[in-house]
Structure 1
């Protein structure tokens, strides 16, 4: 167990690293941010920072030697980076979880091998395999790069077999995965934590609305039955247990129409880190996802994941953040700005969360 006064190393200097560092400070820890960007948002709230490349072995070693544990705010950490860090300090979540989540084929194969339902998928190493897979899985389908890609990047939709090669070109002919298109009723996600002692804590599932492939709003709780919410929490807990995971994970799922057993769930993706769809926990729960992650990686007992309020979290994208003064004046609204200097199109600049008494969340989102 890492005691207050310890130092936490965070790979990545964006808003997730920033909010992790703030949560760590509230528990008596200091943080060391490592990222290749100068003036990154997380460095404003950390005790110290290192600006260096993720391939700089000497800088990585010095960084890891200066902290008690290393964690990360994004999953695309190079494998060699993780290996170097692990020689000098504990890395949590671990290298196996990282490797699983940063490659979509490895992730889907893991889920399938543990009887967790997903959309049909196929590994696409080349053009000929793509043509065969489209014929087998059918259209519409989605072609995604195996690695990298978020907020809609690195993917292309295939509506007819004739679109396959153009889609492959659109993603740069990179190693890819083809996924069958899922006609879902709603998209939900579960934020789940697992401690070093194996204990898990899953927050209530939230319903997510996307705009231009970027998360727009999350409604807590999701508009699903309690039985389905229990099933979603159980799936998320199953995943982190089978991965021997330590920390917070976001598990994205689709809710499909009913069959003989009722509504069905498919897992879309896992994110081995704190997650945008969990930001509502900062204001609607006693223990936020950020504090929960710090507790887990430091070997502390996990806190309660119970919700004391209903909530709607809304992202501030680009120039939306210029509306900060009006939002700051609204009742029952918590505003969080990320300290980014320039409001660019598609850039997450902050978020706000509106709180409601339990059972009184709005029935519709914008």
Structure 2
């Protein structure tokens, strides 16, 4: 159990790291970030900031020397430079290795008895044509690595779309489209002692591949499948000996939940927990990695809705403050690019 005043290292400098650092401060911890990017917003609320390259071994060692425990805020942190840090990392980097490669992730979940969308690894156009023939269209062609928020994805409406596709040298995976009635996520926290707690599963709505809204209570088609989805998510967490917050995204279908992907971190669809749950995902992640008792995950309102603020919409975000039920979070990003998450607003209804 880490005593107050200990230092938590955060790998990555985005809004998730920012909110983790804010939660850590409430529990008496200081945070430092390692984020080789321009103007990392997590750095605004951290006691120190390293902006060196991920593969700068000397800088990484100096960063680790200052930390009592190290975690990450996004799943594309390179695994290789983390080898010397393994004893201080929570979760274990095996979670990163699994989530960073869509093929490894799907095989891992299938071995646990989970059901992802029909898929096939694609290394060349021949593989793609074979995948389309076997799985059919429409489908989605995705990069095996580094894809998020709809990036690195191409929709294949028919075999004709594949004929002119040229992505030589990039490992891909082809997935058949799932006929789903709703999307939802299972967000859990697992402690060092193996204890697991779940937040209520929100109904998630995506627009252009980006999460637009998460809301509770979820429709019946979701709530009826949550128990089964939770069972698989717990198997994932246990198999990885996971510590911290883990998110698994699912499609609710007439045949039951279909696994979409996992995120070994706090998640956008859990932002509502800051105001809408007894303990937020950010606080519980800090509790877990520091060896503290896990907090209650119960939803505190009768209804909760979280809406992302995307791109230029951030310029008018302060207008939300006229609504007494609105809780506004802006992430301090200077540039409002199209499709960039600039903040979120949450509304909690009581009674």
* Fold match by TM threshold 0.5: yes
Matched, 1:97 2:101: no
Partner of 2:15: 15
Matched, 1:352 2:345: yes
In 2, Cα distance between equivalents of 1:253 and 1:338: 27
- SS in structure 2 opposite 1:44? helix
Q: TM (normalized to structure 2)?
A: 0.96
In 1, Cα distance between equivalents of 2:254 and 2:219: 14
Residue deviations 1:34-65 (CA, integer Å, cap 9, x gap):
11124311111111111111111100011011
In 2, Cα distance between equivalents of 1:144 and 1:38: 27
Partner of 1:121: 119
1:173 deviates by 4.9
Matched, 1:110 2:112: no
CA RMSD, Structure 1 to Structure 2 (Å): 1.4
Residues 282-297 of structure 1 correspond to what in structure 2 (within 5 A)?
A: 282-297=274-289
Tell me the number of residue pairs that the alignment of Structure 1 and Structure 2 aligns. 349
In 2, Cα distance between equivalents of 1:74 and 1:81: 15
Unaligned runs of 5+ in 2: none
Unaligned runs of 5+ in 1: 259-263, 359-366
In 2, Cα distance between equivalents of 1:221 and 1:5: 38
In 2, Cα distance between equivalents of 1:131 and 1:51: 43
CA contact (8 A) 1:194 1:296 kept: yes
CA contact (8 A) 1:205 1:232 kept: no
CA pair 165-83 structure 1, distance change in 2 beyond 3 A: farther
1:3 deviates by 1.7
Partner of 1:67: 67
Matched, 1:193 2:185: no
In 1, Cα distance between equivalents of 2:307 and 2:77: 28
Of residues 266, 269, 279, the one that matches 1:277 is 269
CA contact (8 A) 1:202 1:236 kept: no
Residue deviations 1:286-323 (CA, integer Å, cap 9, x gap):
21000011111111121111101121100001111122
CA contact (8 A) 1:75 1:271 kept: yes
In 1, Cα distance between equivalents of 2:350 and 2:262: 30
Runs of 4+ in 1 over 6 A off after TM superposition: none
CA pair 166-219 structure 1, distance change in 2 beyond 3 A: farther
Of residues 211, 224, 234, the one that matches 1:215 is 211
CA contact (8 A) 1:119 1:180 kept: yes
Q: TM (normalized to structure 1)?
A: 0.92
In 2, Cα distance between equivalents of 1:3 and 1:140: 53
Partner of 1:233: 230
In 1, Cα distance between equivalents of 2:90 and 2:322: 39
In 1, Cα distance between equivalents of 2:269 and 2:164: 32
